[in-house]
Amino acid sequence: MGQTPQQPPQIGQVANGYQWNGVQWIPLGPPPQVGQVSNGYQWNGVQWIPLGPPPQVGQVANGYQWNGVEWIPLAPPSAQPASEAVLVGEIGRYAQTAGFTVRQSAHQLTLERVVGERKAFLSSAKLEYRATISLDEGRRTARFTEMLKESGTGLTSGGGDDGDFGTGTGFGFQKTSYNSRTDGIEESIDEQAARFGTKYVPGFPYAEVKGQLGNICVAAGYSFT
């Protein structure tokens, strides 16, 4: 009778204090760590499995990148700043929704809206809010200024303390405007609004407008001052 051929040992099989690694019997030491590599095999916690070809430097898998020594987690991609044209479009959409008219010149947008009106005999006046944003795409900056401007039409009695709606005689109309800069040199928009508070009903949300425009610029990668 012929002898039954002996089956080759299984990788990881232990006999007489030795373990078969797929190539040879090696003396047993402390148990291998998960992920440990030996003779082209890696221990997965249960058995030794053959290793595939080594990853290429820079190779990406499952959110990690191989740097030649270890897999390192990839950082999320940083947002790229929007171009000036994209930012202008975003500001324009906001302005339309908020009821502003928009004038555009080279690297500058002006948003305008009437925020108060009053009328008297043969005369009318309106208070206009104007916000200007000057853009510098190279420096990624958006500089903001705002102002209130009063204007009117028609005959006035003139001569009074109120100027345009006084009690004296004469013709004409007093026009007044106040400008605001964020560097503190000029009056703030709140101070401007206070000057007109006796003539027009207050309540327009100036701070909200500035905040919305600032958020749009910052989201596009521009500093807002």
- Judge whether 115 lies within some domain: yes
- Partners of 224 in the β-ladder: 142
- Judge whether 55 lies within some domain: no
- Judge whether 75 lies within some domain: no
| 129/23 same-domain check | no
What digits encode the pLDDT tens for the residues 84-110?
999 999 999 999 989 999 999 888 999
| 95/149 same-domain check | yes
- Judge whether 199 lies within some domain: yes
- Judge whether 220 lies within some domain: yes
Distance (Å, whole) CA 168 – CA 157: 6
- Judge whether 144 lies within some domain: yes
Strands (E), 39-166: 41-43, 48-50, 60-61, 64-66, 71-73, 101-105, 108-120, 123-136, 141-154
Q: Tell me, what amino acid is at 13? A: Q
- Judge whether 143 lies within some domain: yes
What digits encode the pLDDT tens for the residues 167-211?
334 445 555 555 544 444 467 888 888 888 778 777 788 899 999
- Number of domains into which the chain is organized: 2
- pTM listed for this prediction: 0.54
Please state, rounded to an integer, the average pLDDT across all residues of the chain.
Answer: 77
Range of the domain at 163: 84-224
Distance (Å, whole) CA 157 – CA 167: 6
